[in-house]
């Protein structure tokens, strides 16, 4: 069985080999209108600027903006005439933009480090203190069993 990295390396090599840089994946993406940096961007140019990210290289500002707004709708994969899993391509490019593929990071993680603290605060507005305390005493395994 291959490691995740070996699988990813094969996927990236195959994607770089088969991608025609047509931009159909970008055109199908429902999220591009939510990134001001992508206004008027050429679909083919955005894809061309995304591919270096797969190898740990520098992507264009537009490519990084695209990976930031990706919600994994998979419409890009459905649109690819070459049968490439374009959703995985964009996710791998996100890894590259974060510096996880060996290159320099071009973006910071967008995950909120205080997410779980905010959930606790929200729960406190919905539950009585004794309910919250009871929840903390139950193991995560027991929570999912019910």
Per-residue pLDDT for 90 more than 90? Answer: yes
Looking at the chain, the number of H-run helices and the number of E-run strands are: 9, 0
Per-residue pLDDT tens over the stretch 34-79: 999 999 999 999 999 999 999 999 999 999 999 999 999 999 999 9
Per-residue pLDDT for 143 more than 60? Answer: no
The pLDDT of residue 134? 72
Band of residue 131 on the pLDDT scale cut at 50, 70, 90: confident
CA distances from 69 to 119, 141, 146 (A): 23, 33, 35
Count the neighbouring beta carbons within 10 Å of the beta carbon of residue 59. Answer: 25
Count the neighbouring beta carbons within 10 Å of the beta carbon of residue 37. Answer: 16
User: What are the residue ranges spanned by the domains of the chain?
Assistant: 4-97, 115-145
């Amino acid at each position: 069985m291959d490691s995740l990295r070996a699988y990813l390396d094969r996927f990236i090599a195959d994607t770089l080999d088969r991608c025609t840089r047509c931009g159909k994946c970008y055109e199908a993406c429902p999220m591009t209108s939510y990134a001001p940096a992508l206004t008027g961007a050429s679909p083919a140019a955005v894809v061309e600027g995304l591919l270096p990210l797969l190898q740990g290289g520098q992507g264009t500002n537009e490519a990084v903006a695209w990976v930031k707004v990706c919600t994994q709708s998979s419409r890009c994969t459905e649109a690819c005439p070459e049968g490439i899993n374009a959703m995985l391509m964009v996710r791998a490019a996100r890894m590259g933009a974060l510096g996880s593929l060996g290159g320099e990071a071009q973006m910071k993680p967008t995950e909120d480090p205080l997410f779980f603290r905010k959930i606790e605060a929200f729960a406190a507005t919905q539950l009585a203190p004794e309910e919250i305390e009871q929840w903390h005493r139950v193991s995560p395994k027991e929570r999912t069993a019910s």
